[in-house]
Each structure stands twice: as structure tokens, then as C-alpha cells.
Chains A and B, each alone.
Chain A
Amino acid sequence: MEEEKKIRKPRGVARLIPGKCIACGARCQSDCPEDAIEMNEKGEPVINTAKCIGCRRCVKICPAQALEMYFTPEELKIIAGLAATVPEVVTTVEPGIKEYRGVWIFVEHTEGKPATVSWELLGEGAKLAKTLGVELCSLVIGEKVEHLCQESFAYGASKVYLIDAPVFQHYRTETYFRAICYLVEKYKPEILLMGATGMGRDLAGAVATKIKTGLTADCTGLDIDEKGYLLQTRPAFGGNIMATILTEKTRPQMSTVRPHVMALAKKDESRTGTIVRESMDIKEEDLPTRVIEVIEDATGEQLDLAGAEIIVSGGRGMCGSENFTILQELADELGGAVACSRAAVEAGWMPAERQVGQTGKTVRPKIYIACGISGAIQHLVGMQGSDVIIAINQDNKAPIFEVATYGIVGDVFQVVPAIINNIRELRERKVDK
């Protein structure tokens, strides 16, 4: 307990700053030691000032900085009189977490074919490892996957942990998650990153729960703070806001990272490193799941979104599925692919796999042409990494213009055909020459 002083420093009471609460799920109420907070219908705190003891816990825990301390004018006077400042309490690092060192990247692959996101993560992981002054390692698990070790070295890893056995031929949660938990417990990395893909998210959720550590989904930014914690930034609330999240007390710090957000690492085939071979005693007959069949999707004539250098995308302003043909025409002219916003999928104009955005795909093409897309933040998070963004929209106040490199305010049905004609004319002229 604090020593009784002659003049006690007023502690004030907590107060909600209007409009700042995001209804995060009652963190303030949960942390209040005095039951002084009730949550209203909107999920915002109502503070019982008679009960509040001014402990500031709610103010500190609020992720949106929506709470402040309120002092009466008299109290403020007393505070001004007391010049002495109370030293800040420094959170102590849990014993044991110092043992955990190194940055690990899980190398995702399907039957030996690597997912590009793994190499993007090695590029990003190299930066983190450099800041921390630790090793960058890859995790390669599968059957006949040794070639991925050399590829890991080429993309910057200095060590690879390899488990190669027939039981790992197809990805299954059970086998991969047991292998990773085993390696993590044995070698204790401080950071473990995976791609925020179907596989990565399936696996990371299981691993983090088993190890009882923090996991941040779908990160778009990673950094190290002054204390060496991993700062994990991700879109929240459908992309309307960004949140920076950290795992203070448990290790490893785990994140899944969106594909196409981090730049691909530079490949250098001359790099080498060490391979640490491990094995696990997992018997096929003890496993609860079996992959019966793998059906590759027909790739068809349509270009894959992830690999497209130019994407022409349509939204609500396209007014109907038949109008996407002019976008296809423009895409064909540019050698690109057609995508769409969530509104176009919900209207039934385009299939879900063509959707770009928070709940769809993330893309970073050289040119992204947004046609009749207003630019809801959930869409922007999926394409804002594109090199050049072109927005065509009738509404000059549409938020899409806030991220666009170039914008044309106008009717899509006039502008897009005009662009197509312009390109054709230029090409004809070139041929004529």
C-alpha cells in the first residue's frame, strides 16, 4: 500500500470521451476492480462515479483511448500544488520468455510446391531478425520437400528445421500442428510467422491454442518496439480501423500475415545454411483425418487474380453482371484479370473468388483499375498495396479517390470504352509506323 501523505493526491474518476468507444467487448468493465462500470445497449461503458476509485485501469486498457481521468477544478488545484510526479510502473518481463530466441517462418506448400507468401515472410522476417539480432529460420514439413530447404536459404533463412515423412504428404491439421508444437517446445523461437492463407490460418489457430500463446490474424504490418516486442498491425472492424496488437507474456509471438502485402525477398541461390533434421513418431492409423481426394480447380481461360499484373475491378456502379463484359474487354486489352468488390458479389454479378477486399483476396498488381467502386475500407485493405491505382467513379466524393494515384470523375460506361478505344488507336498508330 502507498504511504499516507499529508495531502493526498486526488485520483479523479474515469470518464468516457464521447464518440471514441468502439465497443471492443467490455475490456474496461472486465478490468475494473470495483464493479464501477456497466455496459449499455451500444456496448459502451457507463461509469458509476460513486464507485470509481480512480485506479486508471480502464483508461490504460482501453484500446481506443476512449476513456480519460476527470478531475474537479478543486482537485486540479491540489494536483498543481503537488509537483512531485509518481514514477510510472514498468511492466516486468515474465521470467522464461528470454529463453525464446529467433524468428521462424513456416514454409507453406502443397505437395512440395511452395506458396509465395512463405518467401514474402522470409523477406519480412529477415528485417525483424536483424533488428533483434537473432537467427532467421524456416520450418519445412512435408514429404519429399528437401528442395524447399535450399529455396529457404536463397530467400534469406540461415537455418531450416526439416521434418520429412510420408505421413506429412497432404496437409492435415493434426500432423502439422503436432510437428510444429514439437519443434517450438524444443527450440523455443520468439516469433513464428505463417501466411494468412486457408492452411496458415487453420494451422496457426491450433498451434497457438495448444501452446497457449498469443496469435494475431491477418497482419498487414510487423515491427519491433523498443522493448523487443513484435508489433502486429492488422485491419479490424471490417477494415475501418487498424489495430496494433502485441503478445506480452507468452512466447512465441505468433502472427498470420496476408499474402501480397509484404514485398518478396530477393532470391540469392548462392546462399547456404544449416539443415536440422527432426523426425516424429506419428502413425497413420492413429490419425483422425484422411485426405480422400484432391480436386484441382479448373483454371479455365480466366487469369488468376494473385498473379495478375493488371486488374480491372468493378463494383456497385457497374449496375449489372452483363456490364462486366466491358471490364473484361479492357482487361483483355491490357493482358489483365477482372475482379470485383463485395457489392458485386452480393448482387450476384460476379463469383466470390473474384472478390478483392477484407473478406476476399488481397492483391498488389502493377495497375489496379477500380470502376464504379466507392472504396469502402473493407475493399481498400485488399488493394491499397497496388503500385498504381486508377479510380473511375461518378461521385467525386467517393473514398476510392483518396487512395487513387489517378482518378477520373465520370461515367464508367463512357470512360472505360474511351480508354479501350484510346489504347487501340495508339496501338494501331504504332503498327502503322
Chain B
Amino acid sequence: MLIVTCIKQVPDTTQVRVDPVTGTLIREGVPFIINPYDTHALEEGLRLKEKYGFRVAVISMGPPNTEITLKKAIALGADEAVLLSDRAFGGADTLATSQVLSEAIRRLGQKEEVAIVICGRQTIDGDTAQVGPGIATRLGYSQLTLVDRIESVDLKAKKIRVRRRLEGRHEIVEAKLPAMIAVVKEINSLRYPTVPMRLMAEDSKATLWDNKIMGLNENTIGLKGSATQVRKIFSPQRTSGEIIGDGIKDPKEASRLLIERLIEKRALSI
């Protein structure tokens, strides 16, 4: 039985800055990392492997250098890595992305039965949280998002029981396998690769599947298969306000002036 974890290589958006003059992104020196949510997806896959004896495959769609990210996944304990890379896959929105990923999962399933697909809750560059549901819908799997705990997996009955974290409540849900689960960060804490594993991963290779192998209709993938188009990109407009008093030399006076201003503007009543 196979667990497939979907990971994405993303720029570390916490390190991206915007040029105050030109309003453009400064990407110089910004490293590519595994999407942080996906690291927890992989970790959960590895934990299930240890507990139930699954094999763990990792898949990622992206440019050829994504192989580095896949090797990191192998160093952590993944058994197999597949890189989905083809220029025809480029420029994809979530609809076109889920098409490629679900086809890859289907192909993996031809060799070995897929029990669970694990995705991170969302990516830090796109922030959509749409690819997981897209995969589940395309494959007809049970869909379980915002999972913060896997309660149990019953391989005989082909059922999984998870806890979902929603606004102001938690839900315990039981679902039939195969299932797609999208996990939140709180589900687990990460392991770090050991030196021998890292050395082993150095020699490992991700299997490359391009569209010659996948054979998907070009109108359903990449830019052509995307239902959304980006019309424009711009920097957020901001209007700055007023600096009150001298908070360094006289914090008391600055505070007094602030409260005075708030009362004046009817924002605060004492």
C-alpha cells in the first residue's frame, strides 16, 4: 500500500522584500525551500509508514531543479520520488496543477494501490489551498482538509479516522480509503535527516515524468489548461498616518497625546 505526498518547491516568501521605489519584488538571494506545510505532510506520511508499513512516494510538479527538493524528501525517509516536469506543465493554475498531480497518482496506483494522498494545507506562495481538493475531486477520493490529527487507519475495513480543525471547533471524521488529507502544521513536529540518510539521498534520483510519459491533453495542463488568468500584478497601496509626540524622549507625553487624539476622533471613550 502506498502513501503519496505532494510537495512543492517555493521561494521563501518570508524573505521576499518589495523595493520601496519601484514597487517590484526583490527576489535576489531568496532561497527555494519545500513549502513549509508540505514538510508536515511528508512527516505525517513517514509516521504512517513507521506505524502501518506503508511505502511513501513523493511527487512534485515544477522546474527541473525541483529534484533537489525531492532528494531532501528521500533523505528524510521517502521511498520513491517522482518529478513532474515539462514546459507544457508551466504557468498552471490550481485546476491545471491538480490535473497533472492526479494523473501522476493514478499512474503510481497502477503499480501499487494508493491508500492515502497527503498534501500540505496550502502553499506559502500561492496560498490557495485548492490543489488538495482538486486532486480528491479528480480521483474521487474522500476529501479531508485541515487535518490536525490522524486518529487511526484501518486497512482491513479501508477506513481512516481523522480530526479536523475548523473555526471554533474540531470534528472527528471517518472516511473511506483512498482518501486525500490536507494537513495543518500542528499535526506533528518535524524530524531532521540523519547523516547516513543524507549521503544515501545524494546518490538517489527522482524519476522524471514529462508529458511524453504522462500523455495528457495539452489543453488541460499548464497555461492552456488554466481557467484563471492573471490580469495584473501591483503593489498594495498604503496611506501613512501621523507620528505622535516623541515616544523615545517622552513616552508619557506621547501616550497622553495619543489618547487625546483617539477621544477627539471618537474612536475611544473613557
Contact = CB atoms under 8 A, between A and B. Distances in A.
Interface of A: 19-31, 35, 39, 41-43, 61, 63-65, 110, 115, 170, 172-174, 177, 197-199, 201-202, 204-206, 208-210, 212-218, 231, 235-250, 288-297, 299, 304, 334, 342, 352, 358-359, 366-367, 376-378, 380-381, 384, 387-390, 392, 394, 396, 401-411, 414-415, 418-419, 421-423, 426-427, 430
Contacts of A26: 63, 87, 90-91
Contact of A291 (B138, B143, B171): B171
Contacts of A235: 127, 236
Given A289-B142, A404-B240, A408-B255, 6 more contacts: A214-B227, A215-B128, A216-B228, A241-B234, A244-B230, A388-B267
Contacts of B246: 409-410
A390 B255 CA distance: 11
A247 B13 CA distance: 26
B95 A209 contact: yes
A419 B258 contact: yes
A428 to B, nearest CB: 10
A199 B143 CA distance: 12
Going nearest first, the 10 A-B pairs with the smallest beta carbon separation are A410-B247, A205-B133, A238-B13, A214-B227, A26-B90, A63-B230, A27-B91, A30-B90, A418-B255, A217-B128
B141 to A, nearest CB: 8
A302 to B, nearest CB: 12
Contacts of A421: 252, 255
A23 B27 contact: yes
Contacts of A206: 133-134, 136-137, 143
Interface in B136-194: 136-138, 142-146, 161, 164-176, 185-186
A30 B137 contact: no
A299 B128 CA distance: 29
Contacts of A411: 247-248, 251
B170 A295 contact: yes
Contact of A208 (B130, B175, B232, B267): B130
Given A422-B255, A426-B259, A289 B175 contact: yes
Interface of B: 11, 13-14, 16-19, 22, 24-27, 63, 65, 87-95, 98, 124-134, 136-138, 142-146, 161, 164-176, 185-186, 222-224, 226-236, 238-248, 251-252, 254-256, 258-259, 261-262, 265, 267-268, 270
A128 to B, nearest CB: 17
A410 to B, nearest CB: 2
A414 B87 contact: no
Given A198-B167, A205-B134, A240-B16, A359 B124 contact: yes
Contact of A290 (B146, B174, B256): B174
A213 B262 CA distance: 47
Contact of A209 (B65, B138, B165): B138
Contacts of A427: 270
A59 B107 CA distance: 36
B236 A366 contact: no
Contacts of B90: 25-27, 29-30, 39
Given A240-B16, A240-B18, A401-B240, A426 B270 contact: yes
A50 B255 CA distance: 65
A204 B16 CA distance: 29
Nearest to A394: B248
Given A246-B228, A295-B171, A377-B18, A201 B145 contact: yes
A243 B137 contact: no
Contacts of A240: 13, 16-18, 25
Given A237-B125, A359-B124, A388-B265, A210 B137 contact: yes
Interface centre among A231, A289, A366, A378 (most CB of B within 10 A): A289
Contacts of B14: 238, 342, 376, 378
B133 A408 contact: no
A202 B230 contact: no
A289 B124 CA distance: 29
A190 B93 CA distance: 20
Nearest to B9: A43
A29 B243 contact: no
B247 A205 contact: no
Contacts of B17: 240
Contacts of A43: 11, 63
Contacts of A174: 142-143
Contacts of B230: 24, 63, 243-245
B169 to A, nearest CB: 5
Interface centre among A197, A242, A394 (most CB of B within 10 A): A242
Given A110-B169, A199-B166, A406 B251 contact: no
A388 B168 CA distance: 27
18 contacts: A25-B90, A27-B91, A64-B24, A198-B145, A198-B167, A205-B133, A206-B133, A209-B133, A217-B126, A244-B230, A289-B173, A290-B175, A380-B238, A389-B241, A392-B247, A396-B243, A414-B251, A430-B270
Contacts of A418: 251-252, 254-256
A312 to B, nearest CB: 13
A21 B239 CA distance: 26
Contacts of B131: 205
Given A236-B126, A294-B169, A402-B238, A242 B233 contact: yes
Nearest to B136: A206
Contacts of A27: 90-91, 223
A148 B248 CA distance: 53
A327 to B, nearest CB: 15
A364 to B, nearest CB: 14
Contacts of B242: 405-407
A247 B228 contact: yes
A299 B167 CA distance: 12
B95 A403 contact: no
